[in-house]
Amino acid sequence: MIEQNSVPGVSRDQKDREARSHDFGRMAQRMPAAIAVPKNAEEVSSIVRKAARDEIPLVIRGGGHSQGGQSLTDGGLVLDTAELDKIQLLEQGLVRAQGGAQWGEVVDALHGTRQLPPVLADIAEVTVGGTLSVGGWGTSSHRYGAQVGQVEQLEVVTGTGELMRCSRTENTDLFDAVRAGQGQFGIITDAWLRLRKAGERIRLYALHYHDFDRFASDYEQIVHEDRFDHLRAETRIHDRQIVLAAGIEYDGDLDDGQALEGLGYDEAATLKDTAEVGRAGMFPKWGFFRLNYHPWRDWLMPWGALRTLLAQPWLDPGWVPRVPDSWVGTYPIKTGAIDAPLFISPEGEHVFSYSVLTVQTRHEKASELAGRLRKIDKTLVDLGGKSYLSGGTGYGHKDWRAHYGEKFEMGTRWKEEFDPKRVFRREGMPFGESSEASPG
Ligand SMILES: Cc1cc2nc3c(=O)[nH]c(=O)nc-3n(C[C@H](O)[C@H](O)[C@H](O)COP(=O)(O)OP(=O)(O)OC[C@H]3O[C@@H](n4cnc5c(N)ncnc54)[C@H](O)[C@@H]3O)c2cc1C
């Protein structure tokens, strides 16, 4: 057993445990036995060694924004990365950020340098380790893919407590296992992230479409031409309209007429024009109330399925509350630069994310919706889609095998190699569990 004070930063305090007993989704509640908040990689290593020795299940928690219980444990230890938050700008277009650093903090640390990570998440509070463990897509994914493809090197504590560096040339299996690895193989303590040149300012347009077919034509054209630096489309479920947020980074002047030329929207407005280029595409923290229920699900869909999905009846406003708000979000994603094998995506040069994001104020309603989304999952998978593992999939062994396909055996082998004692374990994990169905 991990005793309070036997390892630095371990707490059994009721309040500390309660605060980590649910996640952003609030669809599951699991009470940990203890919390550890290490201050450096050496402390992480010593906590993992103790957990391995005493056979204590350990889950890693970054910002706790996942929605399917990925950072929760009943009776185990939560390792919270909140204090692993240092950020250092390096030479050669790189920034080094600890696993618990939030993406908003990374952006702020780069203020004034005219450099940014190629892809940013749309909220500031998710952590570097948290999004690198699922993929990390955002408004510039149509050009740069996902964050897992934009990281140069990682420092990781494996399930045996060993602290290792890995990259595309050093300890490559570990590098491939932890990127989009859902915290099953190791704890990312440090990441060396690539940077790109950023514009002096950004102008974000909101383009409104009532005709979904016209939207699809514009979306296809825009992605093909690579006309905008930032793209995010939202189907507002109650308004029966799609709003495309399209952004351009610029120095000097920007000609609106030229930027929007030839597009078939119904109305256009300038959403913002700001020098805060990195934070411009991020939703404000107050936009989400953490006591609501969020049975969110995301998928990656083949580009060819776009029009089929826009025509689907499951966006019926009748079963989704108007207030607070509910929408379906879509990012186009270029697949070529995503070289993380456990980031599972359909084939094709571009795919698109498809996120059903409804906010519920009552748990029963949220559970009903989660059940419905599991049925929708089957339809989307039949259309060639793949789940993005931020929400609760409910997948059991057979589903995980189908999800990972030929990569399933590889993941199982990596689990054996990097976490032989199954320190990183929780309900519903795909690798290294028995062949029984798992709730997820
Ligand atoms: C409002 C909102 C907006 C979002 N927007 C985006 C978006 O724009 N793009 C996008 O890609 N996703 C988005 N997501 C999904 C989100 O990025 C993922 O759920 C992400 O995993 C959450 O990161 P976190 O830091 O909160 O991690 P947690 O939820 O705490 O953990 C997520 C997973 O990563 C593991 N993990 C966490 N830290 C580490 C670490 N240091 N080392 C190894 N494993 C670790 C955990 O064990 C868990 O399996 C959004 C979610 C919400 C709620």
Does residue 427 lie in a domain region? no
Nearest to residue 307, comparing CAs of 374, 262, 354, 369? Answer: 354
The contacts of residue 126 (CB under 8 Å, 6+ apart) are: 62, 63, 65, 102, 103
Note whether 229 and 349 are same-domain residues.
yes
Output the residue whose Cα is nearest ligand 1's atom 13. Answer: 121
The contacts of residue 140 (CB under 8 Å, 6+ apart) are: 118, 119, 120, 229, 230, 231
Q: Is the CB of 60 under 6 A from ligand 1?
A: yes
Cα→Cα distances 23→28, 156, 334, 432, Å: 8, 24, 29, 24
> Ligand 1 centre from 24 Cα, in Å?
10
What CATH number is attached to the domain comprising 231? Answer: 3.40.462.10
Q: Residues 124, 288, 332, 403: is their CA dihedral positive or negative?
A: positive
State which of 388, 407, 428 marks the end of a domain.
388
Output the residue whose Cα is nearest ligand 1's atom 15. Answer: 390
Q: Is the CB of 136 under 6 A from ligand 1?
A: yes
Between CA 430 and CA 438 the distance in angstroms is 8
Note whether 264 and 118 are same-domain residues.
no
Q: Is the CB of 133 under 6 A from ligand 1?
A: yes
Does residue 32 lie in a domain region? no
Note whether 268 and 361 are same-domain residues.
yes
Output the residue whose Cα is nearest ligand 1's atom 39. Answer: 129
Q: What is the pLDDT along the chain (440 residues), one digit of tens a residue?
A: 666 556 667 899 999 999 999 999 999 999 999 999 999 999 999 999 999 999 999 999 999 999 999 999 999 999 999 999 999 999 889 999 999 999 999 999 999 999 999 999 999 999 999 999 999 999 999 999 999 999 999 999 999 999 999 999 999 999 999 999 999 999 999 999 999 999 999 999 999 999 999 999 999 999 999 999 999 999 887 788 999 999 999 999 999 999 999 999 999 999 999 999 999 999 888 777 878 999 999 999 999 999 999 887 665 666 666 665 778 899 999 999 999 999 999 999 999 999 999 888 889 989 998 998 999 999 999 999 999 999 999 999 999 999 999 999 999 999 999 999 999 999 889 997 654 444 34
- How many structural domains is the chain composed of? 2
Nearest to residue 131, comparing CAs of 55, 192, 183? Answer: 183
Count the Cβ atoms, other than its own, within 10 Å of residue 380: 21
Q: Is the CB of 24 under 6 A from ligand 1?
A: yes
State which of 388, 413, 432 marks the end of a domain.
388
Note whether 220 and 286 are same-domain residues.
yes
Q: Are strands 196-197 and 267-274 parallel, antiparallel or unpaired?
A: unpaired
State which of 373, 388, 403 marks the end of a domain.
388
Note whether 149 and 178 are same-domain residues.
yes
Output the residue whose Cα is nearest ligand 1's atom 51. Answer: 65
Output the residue whose Cα is nearest ligand 1's atom 53. Answer: 65
Q: Is the CB of 70 under 6 A from ligand 1?
A: yes
The contacts of residue 14 (CB under 8 Å, 6+ apart) are: none
Between CA 232 and CA 230 the distance in angstroms is 7
Q: Which domain holds residue 322?
A: 201-388
